[in-house]
Structure 1
């Protein structure tokens, strides 16, 4: 997905629109991401002097390992982003804004698409609502509030004697 800047300048008063199905190899190097396929991008590029504004939507199907069951599952990814390419920036210049990119002769969206996909894939994903059998959660309790936890919280036997110091008139009945 590359366009020369001279080609994009032809659309000075209107937005250049694009729609494309991509096939990218090795999109993610994470071990739990098995494949990223059906990548579809669409968007528009607007030219404003030395800056090019890219409004992009990416949709992809991510095959990854379920965090709980270990099975292969599919995650439908959808990313919307607004990126700015600037001709006045140097290629090796350190930029604080991750959506700002230097551009010289051609605008290449592939590195940005790869990055957007990578940062949008969830770290943990599961289609199951239940914990696996081997999770050792037999003695776990789930509390709805801190008050419920505090009420059920066991008291350290070494501090049990101090409990009498905090009794109020209400609890002495």
Structure 2
């Protein structure tokens, strides 16, 4: 996904279309992914007098662990970006202005979209995903179970009733209770 400016000047009258498939396997571990599919990078390059405008469409699929259940979840990646390459030396912005992230220097005579596509794949990755089935996740296990607020209130009421009944004197200690009654 690298072209020379001389090569692109041949397409001055019409846009240069491109279709590439790229593997970014090195990003799987870096981004804590289970898998990253092949990335399809399509688009067109339009050559102007002092700049090249790249319209880029990136499609692929992240496979990420569900934040609740750790089940693999496929997350679609669908990005559009427009990048501008300055052919005369990146003098667009002064030192006081912020640099535009979509504006790149191409004074070396080359347009390289692979690094830009990789950066967009990194930026667009969601922080976390939740699978559709996560609501039906495990609700009980060995010695525990998930209960709702109503069930918790019922259990609390039962415990209060047990506390009240436990205040009754144990029949084995009935004789001792009689000693206190006499006083």
TM-score between both structures, scaled by the size of structure 1: 0.70
Distance 1:76 1:41 in 2: 14
Q: How far does the alpha carbon of each residue in 1:61-93 deviate from its partner, in whole angstroms, 9 at most, with x for none?
A: 111111121111211111111111112217xx9
Q: CA, structure 1 residues 137+84, in 2 after alignment: closer, same or farther (shift >3 Å)?
A: farther
Contact 1:22-1:41 at 8 Å conserved across structures = yes
RMSD of aligned residue pairs (Cα, Å): 2.5
Q: How far does the alpha carbon of each residue in 1:109-132 deviate from its partner, in whole angstroms, 9 at most, with x for none?
A: 011101111111111211235175
Contact 1:60-1:78 at 8 Å conserved across structures = yes
Q: Does the residue aligned with 2:26 lie in a helix, a strand or coil?
A: coil
**Unaligned 5+ runs, structure 1:** 141-173
Please, which of 114, 119, 126 is the counterpart of residue 123 of structure 2? 119
Contact 1:65-1:73 at 8 Å conserved across structures = yes
The 5 Å alignment of 1:1-173 reads: 1-27=1-27, 29-31=30-32, 33-87=33-87, 88-89=89-90, 96-103=99-106, 104-128=108-132, 130=135, 132=137, 133=139, 138-139=148-149
More displaced stretch, 94-103 vs 53-62:
94-103
Distance 1:26 1:18 in 2: 24
Aligned length in residues: 137
Q: CA deviation at 1:36?
A: 1.4
Q: CA deviation at 1:139?
A: 4.2
Distance 1:27 1:9 in 2: 34
More helix by share: 2
**Unaligned 5+ runs, structure 2:** 151-183
TM-score between both structures, scaled by the size of structure 2: 0.66
